[in-house]
Amino acid sequence: MATSTLMIGISGVRGIVGESLTPQLLIHLGEAFGTYLDSGRVVVGRDTRVSGEMVKHSVFAGLLATGCSIVDVGVCPTPSLTLMIEEIGAAGGIMISASHNPIQWNALKFFRADGGYLTDLDARQLLDLYYQGEFRKARWHEIQDVSTDARAVEVHARRVLSVVDVERIRARAFRVALDCCNGAGSEVTLRVLRELGCRIENIHCEMDGLFPHDPEPTFLNLGDLCRLVEQGDVDVGFAQDPDADRVAIVDETGRFIGEEYSLALAARHLLGKRTGTVVANVSTSRAVDDVARAAGCRVERVPVGEVNVAERMRELDSPVGGEGNGGVIDPRVHYSRDSLVGIALTLELMAETGKSLGELVNAIPRYHMVKTKVDCNRQRAGEILRRVREEYASAEINLSDGVRIDWPDAWVHLRGSNTEPVLRVIAEAAGEARARSLADEFVAKAKR
């Protein structure tokens, strides 16, 4: 079995279908999770990837073998699944989605009874069970049923619409361009936008799982959306990843605003309603700090990973948080990243201020961020990070997740990925040349 592409960690399990992600592996992971939940009820959903059915039925076999009952919520966004876990009082859930990874990948994401990702301790307990291979074995009369529940996107849409002023947004009749990458958000996002009275120009909203471009919602992959906005009479463009927990934004001129400003705009809006500490990960743009400071608030940074942000938000009763990859968390909806939340809050901000998206973005200090990566296994990534720590020991550094080095005008963050066999290198500065130079410098260091 090809293990170099198998990623097993606290954020879940990812691999290439037919190579490292095999039916046998998936069955054992289902058995491990069923044992971990003590044969409870499990909600299972998936994105639109063509491998989803194979993965789902393999996972079903493992869960059923341990005596779990299964509620199949079908194709839906990850935040829809997390809401359904709470809605029906399940013991936990599994989302089958490799998020931004290319189409040949698939993955399992594991959730607790409250709809949150497993904590570090929870995940390690699950992985211990998996590696030990001592799973609960249900006897013939203990095998439970698989039921279906098609309400996930309805519950999700209703919750998002409940936290915004629907009538005020409808009155603006926004013209919205949408690219869902043929992913799980297609149906529910179109539904929410129609409920908000938007006129929609949509591309790549067929839920066939055949991605029209690389699924990560970055500038290089969203040329079609930018051109659609630029050539049409459109107020704003939105793009999602395949499981719809991340959103990137394009302004009315076709300018790619990107993922980082999704959280900055949400914070700008929500801190005007309730102040408090914003929680963001260490890879998130300083634009969030500028927005918080203008509202008399601060930003607390935590390691990369939705669970780290969500847990700290709960502790601080934070009004808003998220990650700079386009993941916005509004606790009024749920403690999970949600592209629909990001979209609805952006439209409400535009409606309340009467300003265009471009005007709102231009009022926030603009930074240039360069995100790149170096192919690298975990062992090698650890060695690179150790050397960087030693070299910059006297600098202002944050070691909570990899190494982040801050200067007055810029910062750079290096960390081993939890989702790909790569070392991520992110640099941000007020000037594009400075950001590019920093990124190139540290990529070169890593390769040396």
Nearest to 85 by CA among 118, 54, 107, 56: 118
State yes or no: is 99 an active-site residue: yes
- The catalytic residue among 11, 97, 99, 262 is 99
Nearest to 184 by CA among 26, 338, 335, 76: 76
Give φ, ψ of 236 to 5 degrees: -165, 150
Nearest to 290 by CA among 319, 326, 265, 253: 265
d(CA 36, CA 211): 34
Burial class (CB in 10 A: 0-12, 13-18, 19+), 220: exposed
Asked if 346 contacts 375 with a C-beta cutoff of 8 angstroms, the reply is: no
The residue written with tokens 């192919």 in the block is 375
Q: How many CB atoms lie within 10 A of CB 365?
A: 14
Amino acid making up residue 396: E
d(CA 185, CA 176): 15
d(CA 92, CA 110): 8
Burial class (CB in 10 A: 0-12, 13-18, 19+), 3: exposed
Q: How many CA atoms lie within 13 A of 255 on its CB side?
A: 11
Cα angle 367, 338, 263; round to 5: 20
| Exposure string for 369-387, b = 16+ CB within 10 A, e = fewer | bbbbebebeeeebeebbee
Residue/partner pairs of 299-305 with CB below 8 Å, 24 or more apart = 301/398, 301/400, 302/400, 303/400, 303/401, 304/401, 304/415, 304/418, 305/10, 305/11, 305/117, 305/281, 305/418
Look at residue 143 and give its three-state secondary structure. Answer: coil
Residues annotated as catalytic are 99
